[in-house]
A and B are shown apart, each in its own frame.
Chain A
């Protein structure tokens, strides 16, 4: 197995897009970890470092300058927001992907292993969740729960596990006919033991790939919800929230369409690169684990 891992690592590093993705990811991890150094919070909001400081009283955005390298939008420093927003992005991505993947794994593997009525019921529930348009569901849910980043995350978890459940179900349906599963049953291994020790290790890789791809797109979804005003509170460092500030300035000034470009470009670029990093990594993992899918 060590050999196999080594071989996979080698393959990964021979793939330029994988290396690029990993480099981007490491860059974001670096920014997230060293956020207090890169953009030190002012003494006044030391206890709430995620709140973007108000740097001016003028309501108009201000272009990039020495003190505010990414400019100012809605009185707040964009650079500070983008740097600290990296942490928010990771938090949303990791928690939502982690929890929804676990839920999906649980439901999918139970469904596939037991089959019959249990499968039927669980899969119909999955279908119901799939049939609800995500944005509408998220809006309704946040209306019920109230706005806030945690509520947005709950909405994304509640409506984000179905893909994993279906994927793992299909894989386990295939793997459960293998003789090593029968052998484990003959030995007397319990059902959870068979699922965790025998079925999941042989079926989980596509799920991990899917999860890494989703990690990026979830950040976009969170940004959409923030943009709609459902997400982070006023002034919270979140890429979507910064874009939300740009709403009034998107069209530029009279005769100068691109006057306020910095209100969109910096947070937008951060988001695009973040999504790109995860997608490149996911693509590379998929190529390594399943060469048949390469187009």
Chain B
């Protein structure tokens, strides 16, 4: 199912901090470190589940990938192309490119450049060969046709939102909610074609084409979520970020929507980043799972491996919290003490160490890197696998 050679979306050290402002001069007094250096890849056609408790930064990742929040740091590659300049405000593009590429390249020798990660090396070639080492021309490469490129990215990446009630404009007809994307991207040459496209996508998500004339308040939560999916899919994107897409629905509707999303994935060859706090949903739909804790990814693994044998102590405690519908089954539960620390002032070293049952001295001093412990399995823990 997964193609390991090239990732559709690569996220490298993504950082998103939100400023907290106070006082009359709106001085920044602190930063909420919602996402603090996250790396992951999504391969074409797979579903990556992103799981973690409330406030760990899952949704922020989704929003940042789509450019709804500008990233504070890090890079996002889509199909090997750096799309970060299009997610950032224009005035930051130059300093981003200098920091990420130019300053780097200038210091390195030819051999060292050969050793860079593939996605960075590609831009070294662009910089030295296409632009002959001219920084201005390299920056222009990213600032030219900015609007068109941003639109192109929007066509490739779409999002399905959590709340089916607030995600549809109450004063627009369904046909216009879905058709707006067609207008913005100029996909239909006539209003008849637009109507046909809307009708087609409505049928694909299991609604009647006649619904195009109705308003959102006439629909149930499940139907609204189908409309939200239709809005995302009409652009025919490659990657869909599903941000808690089924969390607001009740259980019977939830499985319908999950099945619909799986069917659509097959039909449109979609890739999903499925964000949820619900382990059973993640288990149902994901191919691989990334576990987040306080702005960091602590473990990434194929679903089966992760659920069978979690390695990070946080994953272990999550897994042990899944209820098993068998009254005779007695299992050892790992119950965490205390609350999630504040993302304004996260703990030193490993962010999980104050609550970790196997923490040692090194954990509070050094931050464990997210490194490969088995094939396609990465864990950020010095003592991975000590409890399970």
Cβ of B287 < 8 Å from any Cβ of A? no
Interface flags, B168-193, vs A, CB<8A=1, else 0: 11111100010011001100000000
Q: Is B159 an interface residue (CB 8 A)?
A: yes
Interface magnitude class on chain A: 20 to 34
- Once A120-B26, A188-B181, A188-B185 are accepted as A-B contacts, the answer to whether A179 and B66 lie under 8 Å apart by CB is no
Q: What is the predominant secondary structure among interface residues of chain A facing chain B?
A: helix
With both beta carbons as reference points, the residue of chain A lying nearest to B152 in the complex is identified as: A188
**B interface footprint on A170-186 (CB within 8 Å = 1, 0 otherwise):** 00000000111011111
- With A187-B235, A188-B150 known as contacts, the answer to whether A180 contacts B168 (CB < 8 A) is yes
> With the chains together, A190 CA to B163 CA distance in Å?
23
B131 CB-CB contact with A under 8 Å = no
Q: CB distance A179 to B162 under 8 Å?
A: yes
In the complex, besides A178-B166, A186-B67, 11 extra interface pairs with C-beta distance below 8 angstroms are A178-B167, A179-B167, A183-B167, A187-B184, A187-B231, A197-B169, A197-B180, A198-B172, A201-B169, A201-B171, A202-B170
Q: How far is the CB of B230 from chain A (nearest CB, A)?
A: 12
B85 at the interface (CB under 8 A from A): no
Q: Say yes or no: A183-B171 contact (C-beta < 8 A), given A188-B181, A189-B184.
A: no
Residue of A nearest to B164 (CB): A179
- Contact B154–A188 (Cβ < 8 Å): yes
Chain A residues within CB distance 8 Å of chain B: 1, 4, 120, 178-180, 182-190, 193, 197-198, 201-202
Question: Is B228 part of the binding interface, using a Cβ–Cβ cutoff of 8 Å?
Answer: yes
Looking at chain B's contact residues, the main secondary structure is loop
Tally of contact residues, B, Cβ under 8 A:
31
- Residues in B neighbouring A120, C-beta threshold 8 A: 26
Closest A residue to B234 using CB positions: A187
Which chain A positions have C-beta within 8 A of B150?
188
Verify if B68 is at the interface (C-beta below 8 Å from A): yes
B206-238: contact bitstring with A at CB < 8 Å (1 yes, 0 no)? Answer: 000000000100000000000010010001000
Asked whether A189 and B158 contact (CB < 8 A) given A178-B166, A180-B168, A182-B68, the answer is: no
Cα A56 to Cα B166 in complex, Å, equals: 68
Q: Collect the chain A residues with CB atoms within 8 Å of residue B293's CB.
A: none
Taken together as a complex, chains A and B put the C-alpha atoms of A178 and B164 apart, in Å, by: 11
Contact assessment for A188 and B184 in the assembled complex, using a CB-CB cutoff below 8 Å: yes
A1 to B180 alpha-carbon distance, docked (Å): 18
A1 touches B215 (CB 8 A): yes
Query: Closest approach, in angstroms, between the C-beta of A231 and any C-beta of chain B?
Result: 40
